[in-house]
Amino acid sequence: MLTAIVTQSNGRIVNVRLSATDTTDTTVVAEEATTLAAEPAAEGESTAEVKTAPNPIAPETKELAWAAGSFIVLFVLMRFFLFPKLKKGMEARYAGIRGDIEGADKAKSDARGEVAEYEKALEAVRAEAAARVDRARQTVDAERQAKLAEVNARIAAKRAEADAANAAARAAVRDQVAAAVSQVAGRAAELATGRTPDPSAVQSAVAAAMESAGSR
């Protein structure tokens, strides 16, 4: 508690001193006040009574009334003016954030749909490419088979021609050999018997001998 110590001289206040005290310091303040009051006034000064000043910290009634009125006014302003605007702004911001989230979700779903369509188109392209590769492979295989068949036919024709030529050559050589053998055999028979054998009989015998030798 604050205590004011007032010193007066000839009815005028010459000194005012504030002292912060509590209940335990009351005796000290009283003693100081008594001492100041009992001091002789050399120049005709007199000490006034010590009075306790009001607590400057404690609010007065009108201050409490002003505070209560201000609080009520502030409450009314907050309740009916500021809070609705704040609530409206918060709701608008919440709606904007919610709209942004919904837009982001929609964009995400659209992106997923586009990715799915892209993958589907990619699979279709891959399938078409695989089908084209298969068709190309089949075409190449068919052309190769046709070429192989053509080459085999040519080889077979060449082989047939070679076989025919070989057969003709063998026949010609066989005829020549048969004629030579017939001459030799006829000459040998003529030398052995002293008579000329029948050429047709000699040729028949030589042909039979050559056929039997060839069959072996």
pLDDT number for residue 111: 93
> Is 53 within the bounds of a domain?
yes
Task: Evaluate if residue 176 carries a pLDDT over 50.
Answer: yes
Residue bearing the bigger pLDDT, 44 or 116: 116
> Is 46 within the bounds of a domain?
yes
> Is 68 within the bounds of a domain?
no
What number of residues does the chain have?
216
> Is 187 within the bounds of a domain?
no
Residue 18 domain boundaries: 2-58
- pTM for the model stands at 0.35
- DSSP code for 82: I
> Is 51 within the bounds of a domain?
yes
> Is 30 within the bounds of a domain?
yes
> Is 119 within the bounds of a domain?
no
Q: What total of structural domains would you count in the chain? A: 1
How far apart CA 168 and CA 156 sit, in angstroms, is 18
* Tokens of residue 115, six digits: 């990715």
Using CB atoms within 10 Å of the CB of residue 182, give its burial: 0 to 12 exposed, 13 to 18 middle, 19+ buried. Answer: buried
How far apart CA 156 and CA 178 sit, in angstroms, is 31
pLDDT mean over 46-51: 50
Task: Evaluate if residue 42 carries a pLDDT over 60.
Answer: no
Residue 210 contacts residue 181 (beta carbons within 8 Å):
yes
